Amino acid sequence: MGFSSVQFLFVFLPLALAVYHLLPARARNGVLAAFSLLFCLWAGVRYALLLAAFALVHWAFGLALARPARPRGLLALAVVLDLALLAFFKYEGFFAANLNALLPGALPVLELALPLGLSFYTFQGISYCVDVARGEAAPERNPLRLYLYLAFFAHVSSGPILRYGDQAAALDPASAQRRVDADRFAYGIKRFVLGLAKKTLIADQLALLHGAVAGTDAAGLPAPALLLGYAAYAVQLYYDFSGYSDMAVGLGEMFGLTMPENFDYPFLSRSVGEFWRRWHITLGAWFRRYLYFPLGGSRCSLPRTCLNLLVVFLATGLWHGAAWQYLAFGLWHGVWICAERLGLSKLLDRLPRAVSHLYLVLVMQVGFVFFGAPGLAQALVALRGILTWQAGAPGMTLAPFADPKLLLLLAAGIALSGPVQALAPKLRGWLRGRAAPGAAGAAVLLLLLLAGIMRSTAGNYTAFIYFQF
């Protein structure tokens, strides 16, 4: 049940809002917990119970880690258990398949279904335990509040990844941070509607173009079709995930819980390092705080710093999926991050903005081919086809993929991914501004809402891409 599904829009969300705001404040955490459990139950009873048990175990870990005389190795145990849980469900099949290629029959390939949101709430569980052990956050003594931190339906499936210390005060339903007035609720609606429009009007439509290209053998496609399909995927992925993040922020505001921003117009970047400070911001922050800094960060020698960066980006790639293409995706970005650290960034700073921006677009587009291809082999074939500007199989042309409506939508999506906002600061301010919209703004939002609902009910609903991670 995604945020753009009919069930969520017409049943789950209206019911949750009505029950939450009609009941007294002391009951609201229970309401949110119940609806969050129901949201997870939609994905499967076993996995909903797994998340509930996960929250209970981390509640106990937090209490134990806060004691001055906590057992040695307790934090390490908590982190290992979290990583083991993630590895079992997400990577067992990948590791077993690759080991069996070398040693046939060494391990069974279990092919387990990935529990909803596992990659996200395991990282939140690790950050909670580490922050409590470091004394950066007080342990939560109410297990219900910790469950909400981990499993609130607005962020459980695809983030953003939260730090407990940033959420702790608002988890008290009687706190000032939890109060929802008319302006805050209107802001939540605005962000939700904008996210819905991103998902349904742009991402889901561009998915048709990318799907047509990715579903065809790359060796037989002409280079323009490959380039078009994976350019569409880059834009689709941005609108899909940033749309989800906007909806998560909006939902949080409607229920009095502030979610951190996850995107800051990444396609306006001029370097790979800047891109990753603007794209999936909370994931980058997590890796910096809990992997890069413990490895030594940039306090080491330059070669060691580059090694730390490569480790972080390999881990980032592996986090996205259990496949070689995601490791290649992470390694590709890690290499360019290191190159920028070794001096390329100074050169980029001296170049005209257009040139450094073109560099970023080219690097990221290669990365999106790795990310969006059916597998590593197809990604390499597609990249070779683009670089050699292959003609494709006889009779294969660009025409089947060049739908004028989709091409126009792709152009509009590129323009609205940052360039228009950079040229129109007032529009940028309105999109993120917390002031209640005027009559014109309300009319625009109403039209976007109606258009988004029409697309959601037209039978072409697709799940958010990051649900698979």
Question: Closest Cα to residue 220, out of 408, 401, 31, 412?
Answer: 401
Question: Closest Cα to residue 107, out of 94, 120, 121?
Answer: 94
| Widest pairwise Cα distance in the chain | 74
Distance between CA atoms of residues 53 and 178, nearest Å: 26
Q: Which residues contact 291 (CB under 8 A, 6 or more apart)?
A: 311, 312, 315
For tokens 């797994």, name the residue: 50
Distance between CA atoms of residues 281 and 99, nearest Å: 34
For tokens 């700073």, name the residue: 349
The catalytic residues are: 320
Residue type, 271: S
For tokens 């100074």, name the residue: 346
Radius of gyration of the chain (CA): 23
List the structure tokens of 256. 């009095």
Distance between CA atoms of residues 445 and 443, nearest Å: 5
371, HSE (Cβ side, Cα atoms, 13 Å):
28
Question: Closest Cα to residue 164, out of 136, 191, 143?
Answer: 136
3-state secondary structure of 229: helix
Distance between CA atoms of residues 67 and 56, nearest Å: 18
Q: Contact 29/177 with Cβ under 8 angstroms? A: no
Q: DSSP letters along 354-419, please? A: HHHHHHHHHHHHHHHHHHHSSSHHHHHHHHHHHHTT---STT--SGGG--HHHHHHHHHHHHHTTH
Q: Is the Cα torsion angle 136, 139, 142, 145 positive or negative in sign?
A: positive
